[in-house]
């Protein structure tokens, strides 16, 4: 299969089960809502070492938020509900509540709910108050800028992590240009995010290592500088490989995001140094979700 002259490998992206929640952060304007969301999603690229994976899903108009103010939707992922709760409490408490004029609400309601404002309310030192509106409880925590309003709980849903595709290009500059187009296209897909910096992975990994203390290590088969040393997956013209990793709330979101991202990358074509699209998998040993490139693109 070729798209705009770019060869599509006959392979699949292998993904795994996660837990996720969506929260809505509002503030006096979009700048401050973004500052809170950007802080919360810092150091949240991979569960290998970050504890969670998180990214901004989209900007919200005042008509889309519970308090009628400008907002940002953020999706957070973790390997278990317990780990998700731990990361949520730390990040909302330290990054959102501390942001001037901020408030925080649940963006998902489900049978499984975890604490949001229910735990953060103790920062109010006994001066916090609650109010129930249409069956939902909100906490009002007095803070120096006024008050921090936070919904009591947020929903947890099954999710998927690790959808991905690789862009094989002439140089790193070519690969980066294609990835930037891909991430921009993925940004328009609901229920999916790209959690690595800028949505792009410069140091893609494989599971395991020759060092027993390392859970993951460099994916040497796709490292251009190791062509003559390892069993490489690269041909002579490939000088750089970048990866886009996608987490989503369901299989449909990841499939759509992968499709849109690959099409955007391929729009540059071989004339702009884009030669192949591949994907990262471990022969089906990592997770039960397999996203076949050619099936998605056909």
pTM confidence score: 0.95
Task: Return the pLDDT at 284.
Answer: 83
Same domain, 152 and 164: no
| Residue where one domain finishes, among candidates 157, 178, 193 | 157
Task: Return the pLDDT at 226.
Answer: 97
Same domain, 232 and 202: yes
Task: Return the pLDDT at 131.
Answer: 95
Average pLDDT for consecutive 10-residue bins of the chain (298 residues)? 98 97 98 98 96 98 98 98 98 98 97 97 97 96 97 98 98 98 98 98 93 94 96 96 98 98 98 98 89 97
| Residue where one domain finishes, among candidates 130, 157, 184 | 157
CA distance 288 to 290: 6
| Residue where one domain finishes, among candidates 128, 157, 186 | 157
Same domain, 181 and 108: no
227-269 confidence digits (pLDDT tens): 999 999 999 999 999 999 999 999 999 999 999 999 999 999 9
Which one-letter DSSP state was computed for residue 37?
H
Q: Which helix (H) or strand (E) holds 276?
A: strand 274-278
Same domain, 37 and 114: yes
Angle at which helices 172-186 and 251-266 pack, to 10 degrees? 140
Same domain, 220 and 92: no
Strand partners, 20: 77, 157
Task: Return the pLDDT at 253.
Answer: 98
Same domain, 135 and 178: no
Strand partners, 240: 169
Question: SS3 for 291?
Answer: strand
Same domain, 169 and 124: no
CA distance 45 to 221: 22
Same domain, 138 and 227: no
Domains identified in the chain, total number: 2
Q: Are 156 and 21 in contact (CB under 8 A)?
A: yes
Same domain, 77 and 99: yes
Strand 274-278 relative to strand 6-8, pairing: parallel
57-97 confidence digits (pLDDT tens): 999 999 999 999 999 999 999 999 999 999 999 999 999 99
CA distance 176 to 193: 18
Full residue range of the structural domain in which residue 271 is found: 2-14+159-297
Task: Return the pLDDT at 283.
Answer: 84
The C-alpha angle 130, 110, 31, rounded to 5 degrees, equals 65
CA distance 23 to 90: 14
Task: Return the pLDDT at 109.
Answer: 94
CATH of the domain at 8: 3.30.70.520
């Amino acid at each position: 299969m070729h798209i705009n002259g770019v060869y599509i490998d006959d392979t699949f992206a292998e993904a795994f089960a996660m837990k996720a929640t969506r929260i809505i952060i509002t503030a006096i304007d979009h700048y401050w809502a973004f500052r809170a969301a950007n802080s919360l999603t810092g150091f949240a690229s991979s569960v290998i070492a970050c504890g969670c994976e998180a990214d901004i899903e989209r900007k919200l108009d005042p008509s889309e938020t519970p308090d009628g103010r400008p907002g940002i939707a953020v999706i957070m992922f973790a390997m278990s509900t317990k780990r998700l709760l731990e990361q949520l409490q730390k990040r909302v408490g330290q990054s959102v509540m501390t942001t001037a004029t901020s408030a925080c609400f649940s963006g998902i309601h489900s049978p499984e709910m975890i604490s949001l404002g229910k735990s953060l309310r103790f920062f109010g030192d006994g001066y916090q108050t609650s109010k129930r509106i249409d069956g939902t409880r909100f906490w009002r925590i007095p803070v120096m800028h006024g008050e921090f309003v936070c919904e009591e709980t947020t929903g947890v849903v099954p999710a998927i992590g690790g959808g991905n595709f690789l862009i094989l290009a002439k140089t790193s500059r070519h690969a980066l240009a294609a990835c930037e187009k891909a991430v921009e296209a993925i940004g328009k897909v609901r229920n999916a995010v790209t959690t690595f910096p800028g949505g792009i992975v410069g140091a893609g990994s494989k599971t395991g290592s020759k060092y027993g203390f390392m859970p993951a290590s460099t994916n040497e088969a796709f490292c251009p500088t190791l062509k003559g040393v390892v069993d490489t997956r690269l041909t002579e013209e490939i000088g750089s490989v970048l990866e886009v990793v996608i987490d989503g709330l369901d299989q449909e979101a990841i499939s759509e995001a992968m499709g849109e991202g690959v099409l955007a990358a391929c729009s540059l074509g071989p004339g702009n140094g884009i030669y192949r699209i591949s994907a990262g998998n471990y022969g089906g040993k990592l997770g039960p979700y397999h996203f076949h490139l050619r099936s998605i693109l056909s």
